[in-house]
Structure 1
Amino acid sequence: MLTKTALAANVGQVPIGVPRVQLNFGAEWDLPGVPGLIRTGAVIDTGRQFVDTANTQALPDWARLALGLRDATVIEGRKTTFRANVLTVTGASSRTGVASFGTFFTSAPRTDLLSMSVDL
Structure 2
Amino acid sequence: MPADAPECLISASREWTAWINRMPGTGAPTLVVSGKVTTPTGGYQVAFDPRIQIRKGYPAQAFVTLNVAAPTGPATQATVTHEVRWEWPLNQPVGSVIVSCGDKTLADITRIQTAY
The two structures have a TM-score, normalised by structure 2, of: 0.28
The structure with the largest alpha-carbon Rg is: 1
Q: Scaled by the length of structure 1, what TM-score is found? A: 0.27
Question: Which structure carries more relative contact order (alpha carbon 8 Å, separation 6+)?
Answer: 2
